[in-house]
Structure 1
Amino acid sequence: MRFFECDSTNNILVDGTFRRNISCWQVGQTIGSGSVGTVYEAITNEGFFFAAKEVSLLDEVQSIHQLEQEIAFLREFEHENIVQYIGTDRHEGKLFIFLELVTQGSVVKVYQKYHLGDSQVSSYTRQILNGLKYLHDRNVVHRDIKCANILVHTSGSVKLADFGLAKTKLNEVKSCKGTAFWMAPEVVNRKMHGYGLAADIWSLGCTVLEMLTRQIPYSPLEWMQALFKIGQGIPPPIPDSLSIDARDFIHQCLQVNPENRPTAAQLLKHSFICAEATASFISPRNSFAS
């Protein structure tokens, strides 16, 4: 067990009503890892639990830049479906980012323990879309949407996490960033002229497919084989065993031409997301509102 005293006080907003201060804290068990660094459970001297993401400041410049970018984004975000930033601390060449502790960990851990049906996946997807809409309304592309970067509370509340690859879409993004199996064709294909918010929608389709099948998209291909298929505009196969609404939702997200993909706001009106009463009035072939 490691014990720390903060170089400066970090204020924690609890339930939006009062603040606690982190002056001393302990690192507990490892709970995950992100695109940069390892995440631990931690506890303050007052017994308040939070997540501490540890990153070496001796890493390559690119990793440090990615970390600074993640902190800058998280400081600006305030949304129920985005993990809450608390503060930072430094110790012996390590930087710790303090985040709210999301108790059940990633969706990967959840679907490894439980078989998720349409009702659960629909609820999770609705919350992911709310988080994406918040980002996209601010012209921010997450660029790494996948189950490993989506966290779940015991209450069923879902949070988007790991913003190390996020980018503000002031201009079309051109760098090939993300995780291979969830990348959109326009991200992989260098012949295209950059990409934008729609890349997250493709990744969302792959993520919904992952939740329902409990397998990563393009399984069991190696990542280079998957990239080749993605670059050719070949989406991952969608099993016929999935429901009509689920298949249609995924199909809408996995349009090869990014201009043909619905926005996060449009997908919130899809029959897979809406209540059953609403779904009965929507045709599967035209199941999002423009």
Structure 2
Amino acid sequence: MVFEKDCSNIIPLRLEKLIGIGQEGRTYQAVRNDTNEVVAVKCILLDFDQSAQEKKIKHYQTHLQKIGKLDHPNLVRHIHCQRDAERHESGLPQYHIIMEFCKGAPLSDIVKTITMTPVLLRRWTRQLVEGIAYLHDDLHCVHRDIKGSNILLSSMDISTCQLKISDMGDMKFLRSETTQVNEVSGYKGTFAFMSPEIIVELDKHNVGRRTDIWSLGCVVVEMVTGRLPKFVNISDGRELTGMHAVMYFVAMGGSPVIPDNLPGPVADFIGNCLRHNPADRPSAVELKEHSFLSADDIITSP
């Protein structure tokens, strides 16, 4: 189903189960009453002030008209956006973003419970690279918050499911089809996956496509270790866990620990993604050709 461009149309919904809570609002599993299709619905609280409401709605409608162009098996589809006829229990009006429903769990949950095989690691990493390449080169946008919790499994069948990049409500569309300096301004991201250029510049930073590549490297680390990327102080071997400590460490030249028992192609792939100078990182298209994605034996148990 393609994105419904007329946001004045109201899709009748039945919210059934809370499946996520984020900064923007709560996400529910729901059913479309007109088609019986199971969908995911993000419920965003609006302001009481009418002018603030309209400003926020205009922002979402403009942004979602662009996101509605997404058409890739490794990206969550956005179907529609609309006002909710009913108010939240707080009395605030609500806005609905209707998306494809993924039956599987977030990648960050799954990697804690499964044994990551060479075939699975290669297949899932390739899917992520394909999805990021599509965002960067076909839609000319940067995600800015790629992490395991924002990547969903299309089903719980590990052998056949697709990984789908989600939470694209704050993507930034670029001014050019080719990578430029100062492509994006704005602070976004989760600290364990933040690129150095985001951390160093904070709210005045200049970020482009290569910031997603750093985050991809962190996600691959998460997949092979089954945990968030680990940051270790080289001088005393102490693991850094606090947000400010990790951000300072990365800003000063540090990066996540790459497990030392990984075969060469895997370690090299991660290392290329985690180069501190964004200009030195490969593009998503270049990563498609990396030996990691075609090697037979690419991982041992971490």
Which residue number corresponds to residue 179 of structure 2? none
| Maintained 8 Å contact 2:111/2:227 | no
Structure 2, gaps ≥5 residues long: 3-8, 88-92, 176-181, 232-239
Offset, 1:85: 1.2
| Maintained 8 Å contact 1:70/1:163 | no
Is 1:160 the equivalent of 2:170?
no
Q: Which has the higher contact order (CA 8 A, sep 6+)?
A: 2
Is 1:271 the equivalent of 2:299?
no
Report the TM-score when normalising by structure 2.
0.78
Which residue number corresponds to residue 125 of structure 1? 125
Which residue number corresponds to residue 16 of structure 1? none
| Maintained 8 Å contact 1:28/1:41 | yes
Q: Distance in 1 between matches of 2:110 and 2:128?
A: 15
Structure 1, gaps ≥5 residues long: 1-11, 14-20, 280-290
Instruction: Please identify runs of 4+ aligned residues in structure 1 that moved more than 6 A.
Output: 59-63
Which residue number corresponds to residue 71 of structure 1? 64
Greater fraction of residues in strand? 1
Offset, 1:276: 2.7
SS at match of 2:293: coil
**Percent of counterpart pairs with the same letter?**
33
Is 1:140 the equivalent of 2:141?
yes
Offset, 1:33: 3.3
Of 198, 205, 208, which aligns to 2:220? 208
- Once structures 1 and 2 are overlaid, which stretch shifts more, 69-78 or 97-106? 69-78
Structural mapping, 1:1-290, within 5 Å? 12=1, 23-45=11-33, 46-58=35-47, 64=56, 67-68=60-61, 70-91=63-84, 92=87, 93-137=93-137, 138-154=139-155, 155-170=160-175, 171-190=182-201, 194-218=206-230, 221-276=241-296
Distance change (3 Å), C-alpha of 1:117 and 1:276: closer
RMSD: 2.8
Q: Distance in 1 between matches of 2:31 and 2:207?
A: 41
* Deviation string, structure 1 residues 120-169 (Cα, Å, up to 9, x no partner): 12211111111111111132111001011111112311111111221122
Report the TM-score when normalising by structure 1.
0.81
Amino acid at match of 1:197: R
Number of residue pairs the alignment of both structures matches? 261
